[in-house]
Structure 1
Amino acid sequence: MLTLCASTFLVLAYNGSFWKTFFSATGGIRLGNLPVYAGAFVALVLLFNAVLTLVNFRFVIKPVLMALFLGASAASYFMSRYGVAIDASMVQNVVETDSREAQELLSWQMLQTVTLLGILPSLLVWRLPLRFLPVRRDLLLKLGTVVLSLLAIAGLLILLFKTLAPAVREHRELRFLLTPTNMFQATHGYLKRKWATPAVIAPLGTDAGRGIKWAVPGRRTVTILVVGETARAMNFSLNGYGRQTNPHLSAQAGLVNFRDVGSCGTATAVSVPCVFSNLGRDGYTADKASSREGLLDVLQHAGFDVLWRDNNSGCKGACDRVRYEDVSQPRPGDPSCGPEECYDERLLESLRQMIRDAKRDMVIVLHQKGSHGPEYWKRYPAGSGRFGPVCQTNELEECTRESIMNAYDNTILYTDLVLSRTIDLLRAAAIEDGVDTGMLYFSDHGESLGEHNMYLHGAPYIISPAEQRQVPMMMWLSDGFRQRFHIDHSCLAARAAQPFSHDNVFHTVLGMLNVSTAVYNPKLDVIHPCTRGN
């Protein structure tokens, strides 16, 4: 009786997102579909009951049910509040996030949900007196329960196959929404990838060297790659957004803004290692990326001094073999930091002096905190926001869509300022320090702000909305940089409206620095058609 009641409770209490999608997948709620809904409900209860029966033993069943209730309550909260789905990438996000990002997701609403749907049912199970049959009768009863449940499920599937088959086939996201099976699938997928990571890193681009444009001795070069966080392209006024969120960048001479760029993933843990690999989105897997060198290694092979500066939660393996600086920790009295974290201007601290003192050509990666949610109002200095009122709680359901959008747009406005100051710094270095400089900016992924009732990011790519996949990308090159590498600015500007993706970044960086290597693909280099002499 306990497993049957628990199975019914699991299907009913934690699967609001699943049932909402299932109703939509089967043509919407209508009287004629009641047999389908009832049949699906009974089949799921019987499936869960059969599985729980296999662990229904003294000293086992209670801890199992308590763990299920606690885990499912947290998972169902995030799915219902933010419209996310639970897959291996989401588990990776949870495991690899830092404590400050994790704290932003904690709220009183979450505590209430976990208490009501997790802690209280667990206490009830713990206090229940259970009576077990003699061993032989108990095993026979369990075997009969499992067999009869599976037979009943098979019968229901046969009866409802005509309706269920197309719904399940066309709506693959259902498997990411069914709790608690999604938690087990996602955890298994993550652990399988994690444990499969080989200890030996395969070399990449060890043949890398300087191309013919380096033959004539010239000035040192400094190239800055700015990796944005959670910035979606549609909220950049450079891309036609109705609000002026890019007042500084729109005034920067020589800036090329690419308006149609797709991300490799919908979460940092996927997009960052993917964009710095040469695998491309179609060929990317976490174990492949972690088992070989990437873009920064190839640049080191070519003789560049590479530095990763981080104001986020790490580089997710992309910078494992290069110099690394963490600038995210606040210092007392530092104007570029708040009480809990540092603003992205911290990434520019002492950067000019570093460029001036460098003896070799440099590539510097600046990893922003950007627009990471849900506490958007913490991403920019107080008083620097233009849009208001802003949502100042991580319980987004308590805020209006307008206040959420205002806070998010203020983060884009601040990113605009940081990028513009980066360009100013590079322009000054080019003029005063005799360095050829360039900048390439791209965000790792976008963000949902209530569209389709979804918030934040990390949706499985197959069902992710455009808001999470379309990202900004822009490039600025000094006059000396363009002349040295024979880059035609007007040609590059003419390509700004063409569709590109994260797949282009690896090869574009190699192309803009004229790095010669067998792993370079000129067809994926955005600059290649605009480089005189190619």
Structure 2
Amino acid sequence: MKYMNRLTNVIIGPISNEPVFWSVIAFALSFSHILGMLPESMTEVSVYDVRNILIIFSGSAFISWCLSAIVWRFGLKNIKCLLYVIAFLLMATDLFLLFNFGTILSSWILLLVKETNPTESSEFLSRSIFTGATLKCLVLTVGLGVTTYCMERKPKVVRFKRDWQRAVCALIALPLLTLGAYLGFWSVRLAGLNSQFDIEEWRAHHGSYALENTVTNLFYSVKYLNVSGHDNATAIRTCVDAARQPASSTEQDSLNVILVIGESYNKYHSPLYGYYLNTTPVLCSQQQNGNLFVFKDVVATYNMTTFSMKNMLSTNRISDNEAWHERPYFPVIFKKAGFNVSMWDNQRPSGADVSCFDYALGSYLYAEDIMPIAYNEHNTDTYDYDDDMLSAFMKESRSYENRRSTSKHSLYIFHLMGQHSDAAKRFPSSDDLKVFKASDIRRADLSDSQKQIIADYDNATCYNDYVIGRIINMFKDSPSVIVYLSDHGEEVYDYRHFVGRTHERNKKKEAIKYQYDIPMMIWCSDKYIQNHPQHIERIRQAVGKPMSSDILPHTLFHLASIKTPFYKPENDVLSKEYVVGKRILQGYIVEEASSLRSRQ
């Protein structure tokens, strides 16, 4: 019994002796996060939302418990005022951002602050500080401060008349503090990570739950900004140096090279790769006409957008131990070779509400030093649907055509939202676009709701096919070549009851198949086929060769007939000198690429 009393005293002591401090700090560190995840109507709160609230509050409750224990045990009453001020400032900052911009503190916000000059700062404050949203933030923060001051003037200690009362309170607090301690353990692990990949992998496991309090989120945002800043700075210097290197195209006639990057595309949900539903009627028609060449064995190097894209767009090769930031971004080479480069990115970070993953990529692709050497034009807005982005492109590019230089070569890059989760939100909710329904899914082991998730994914795939078809129509009457591939794959109840991607080190072959195998295809207009019979023959010979997405730029250089010191024929799947390397996924060797076909 003595040991039990000691245990309950350890658990309850900081709370019962500093009840005001513990409750106020726990509230201040979790309030903005709870507000940010709640639905607009309280009638829509689900069990899932309640679970998230408990997770959010547990992390804040544990941090507050630790601070209360320090204040109580060491008698540091004077430090309470400082801790209150810090907690209120953090809460006020998050509430200001949440009410005005729909976001909380993040690496992207810190980057914007870092890059904002005094004039821009004053203009920003003048627009935002005298708003109803800011007034609401001020009222909540001051109200909490006044309430705390009144309660702390007559501090009370919660005393229990019976031991069983203390034991019951300890049993109630123990699960909450245990979960908070577990999240705190994940936060401590973050402190030892020093690379972007490790931090993103940390977050992809359980780290995202650990961020659901103001303190840990601030620490994460600062650390991620610092770590990514080093790699980005190296990459930018590499690109600036590459822009000074010679590059040219031997192409005599006009040429359009178009790169279309999909998102979360499970190729086994396309009849081009054996699926039983016709989710890609446009592409199947183009294949039958002889304009589309479908590659059979291509994998993404990562199942995370940030690192897959960075390695796909840089001229490095991972199996040669080349880091993405050590080799230049390939549009820089195209622009140096005389191509007009147009970048239309429907995942481009815009505004204040930017996820960490969008920040990691956008802070590089749209850095101030990158844009003038990589693009002639680029979009500034993003769109609910990819087709809307194409409509904006066609409208704005017409005026661009009238003012661009006399260059006859162009590179167009379209980065789509594709089948990004939630797939049901990736196509307009009109009946004519809901081609497939739950009853079309031949899976007796799944419920109707699970079948509907697959049907929604297949509808998003069909909509993606329509978008690609529209891009084809834009360029079908000109000498043009389109390369399409996805950043990574996606599981959609393919062999187990799971949707999405996982980040464990030792994946099963089935998980590798659906998460890393990606579609890749090359479409050639009739004029391109007529002008480049030698390229067409090499494409036909290459469709069965194993390939990783990180060597894509070298194939694009081949298709555009670009001469540059950064082109390596051994990395070009269309070259006779192409060398099949080891298959490296998520930064580690999985197997030899030549043996990959055996798992399919």
The TM-score range, normalised by the shorter chain, is: 0.5 to 0.7
The higher-RCO structure (CA 8 Å, 6+ apart) is 1
Q: Residue 276 of structure 2 aligns with which residue?
A: 242
Please, which runs of 5 or more residues in structure 1 have no aligned partner? Answer: 10-51, 78-105, 137-171, 331-336, 391-396, 431-435
Structure 2 residue 293 is matched with structure 1 residue 256: yes
2 CA distance for matches of 1:424 and 1:530?
34
Query: Following superposition of structure 1 onto structure 2, how do residues 208-287 of structure 1 map, counting pairs within 5 Å?
Result: 208-211=246-249, 213-214=250-251, 218-252=252-286, 253-282=290-319, 283=321
Query: Following superposition of structure 1 onto structure 2, how do residues 387-406 of structure 1 map, counting pairs within 5 Å?
Result: 387-389=436-438, 400-406=449-455
Question: In structure 1, the residue corresponding to 2:72 is in which secondary structure?
Answer: coil
Query: Following superposition of structure 1 onto structure 2, how do residues 154-193 of structure 1 map, counting pairs within 5 Å?
Result: 176-177=205-206, 190-193=224-227
Query: Following superposition of structure 1 onto structure 2, how do residues 82-101 of structure 1 map, counting pairs within 5 Å?
Result: none
1 CA distance for matches of 2:55 and 2:396?
50
2 CA distance for matches of 1:258 and 1:7?
63
Query: Following superposition of structure 1 onto structure 2, how do residues 36-51 of structure 1 map, counting pairs within 5 Å?
Result: none
> Identity over the aligned pairs, expressed in percent?
19
- TM-score w.r.t. length of structure 1: 0.61
Quick one: which amino acid aligns to residue 497 of structure 1? G
Question: In structure 2, the residue corresponding to 1:132 is in which secondary structure?
Answer: helix
- Give the drift of 1:204: 2.3
Quick one: which amino acid aligns to residue 483 of structure 2? L
Choose 447-456 or 369-378, whichever is displaced more.
447-456
Structure 2 residue 384 is matched with structure 1 residue 346: no
Structure 2 residue 467 is matched with structure 1 residue 418: yes
Deviations 1:397-446 (A, max 9, x none): 99722111100111111111221222222112x2xxxxx21111111112
Match of 2:242 among 197, 204, 207: 204
Q: Residue 455 of structure 1 aligns with which residue?
A: 499
Q: Residue 511 of structure 1 aligns with which residue?
A: 558
Choose 418-427 or 126-135, whichever is displaced more.
126-135
Question: In structure 2, the residue corresponding to 1:266 is in which secondary structure?
Answer: coil
Do the aligned partners of residues 231 and 133 (structure 1) sit closer, same or farther apart at CA in structure 2, a change above 3 Å counting?
closer
Do the aligned partners of residues 207 and 402 (structure 1) sit closer, same or farther apart at CA in structure 2, a change above 3 Å counting?
same
Match of 1:437 among 480, 497, 503: 480
Do the aligned partners of residues 70 and 405 (structure 1) sit closer, same or farther apart at CA in structure 2, a change above 3 Å counting?
farther
Deviations 1:191-250 (A, max 9, x none): 452242437622226434235x43xxx431111111112212211211111211111111
1 CA distance for matches of 2:9 and 2:275?
49
Query: Following superposition of structure 1 onto structure 2, how do residues 381-392 of structure 1 map, counting pairs within 5 Å?
Result: 382=430, 383-389=432-438
1 CA distance for matches of 2:6 and 2:228?
33
2 CA distance for matches of 1:233 and 1:193?
34
Quick one: which amino acid aligns to residue 271 of structure 1? S
Choose 306-315 or 462-471, whichever is displaced more.
462-471
Q: Residue 534 of structure 2 aligns with which residue?
A: 487
Report how many aligned residue pairs link the two structures: 398
- Give the drift of 1:328: 4.8
- TM-score w.r.t. length of structure 2: 0.55
Please, which runs of 5 or more residues in structure 2 have no aligned partner? Answer: 38-43, 77-200, 350-360, 440-445, 579-600
Structure having the higher helix fraction is 2
1 CA distance for matches of 2:9 and 2:484?
51
Question: Is this contact kept in 2: 1:299–1:306, CA < 8 A?
Answer: yes
Match of 1:112 among 47, 50, 67: 50
- Give the drift of 1:342: 6.0
Question: In structure 1, the residue corresponding to 2:308 is in which secondary structure?
Answer: helix
Deviations 1:355-402 (A, max 9, x none): 965532110111112111115244246222210149xxxxxx997221
2 CA distance for matches of 1:228 and 1:295?
18
Do the aligned partners of residues 133 and 249 (structure 1) sit closer, same or farther apart at CA in structure 2, a change above 3 Å counting?
closer
Question: Is this contact kept in 2: 1:205–1:517, CA < 8 A?
Answer: no
Question: In structure 2, the residue corresponding to 1:113 is in which secondary structure?
Answer: helix
Do the aligned partners of residues 277 and 129 (structure 1) sit closer, same or farther apart at CA in structure 2, a change above 3 Å counting?
closer
Q: Residue 302 of structure 1 aligns with which residue?
A: 337
1 CA distance for matches of 2:10 and 2:518?
42
Question: In structure 2, the residue corresponding to 1:231 is in which secondary structure?
Answer: coil
Question: Is this contact kept in 1: 2:554–2:569, CA < 8 A?
Answer: yes
Do the aligned partners of residues 398 and 63 (structure 1) sit closer, same or farther apart at CA in structure 2, a change above 3 Å counting?
farther
Quick one: which amino acid aligns to residue 521 of structure 1? K
Question: In structure 1, the residue corresponding to 2:419 is in which secondary structure?
Answer: coil
2 CA distance for matches of 1:209 and 1:179?
43
Structure 2 residue 72 is matched with structure 1 residue 132: yes
Question: Is this contact kept in 1: 2:418–2:426, CA < 8 A?
Answer: no
Q: Residue 470 of structure 1 aligns with which residue?
A: 517
Q: Residue 90 of structure 1 aligns with which residue?
A: none
- Give the drift of 1:457: 3.7
2 CA distance for matches of 1:388 and 1:194?
43
Q: Residue 91 of structure 2 aligns with which residue?
A: none
- Give the drift of 1:112: 1.2
Question: In structure 2, the residue corresponding to 1:223 is in which secondary structure?
Answer: strand
2 CA distance for matches of 1:107 and 1:460?
32
Quick one: which amino acid aligns to residue 489 of structure 1? I
- Give the drift of 1:284: 6.3
Do the aligned partners of residues 179 and 403 (structure 1) sit closer, same or farther apart at CA in structure 2, a change above 3 Å counting?
closer
Do the aligned partners of residues 355 and 460 (structure 1) sit closer, same or farther apart at CA in structure 2, a change above 3 Å counting?
farther
Do the aligned partners of residues 343 and 235 (structure 1) sit closer, same or farther apart at CA in structure 2, a change above 3 Å counting?
farther
1 CA distance for matches of 2:206 and 2:503?
11
2 CA distance for matches of 1:413 and 1:497?
25
Question: Is this contact kept in 2: 1:449–1:455, CA < 8 A?
Answer: yes
Structure 2 residue 397 is matched with structure 1 residue 326: no
Question: Is this contact kept in 2: 1:228–1:370, CA < 8 A?
Answer: yes
Deviations 1:78-125 (A, max 9, x none): xxxxxxxxxxxxxxxxxxxxxxxxxxxx98444211223433785799
Question: In structure 1, the residue corresponding to 2:237 is in which secondary structure?
Answer: coil
Quick one: which amino acid aligns to residue 201 of structure 1? R
Question: Is this contact kept in 2: 1:448–1:467, CA < 8 A?
Answer: yes
Question: Is this contact kept in 2: 1:352–1:425, CA < 8 A?
Answer: no
Give the RMSD, CA atoms, in angstroms. 5.0
Choose 315-324 or 304-313, whichever is displaced more.
315-324
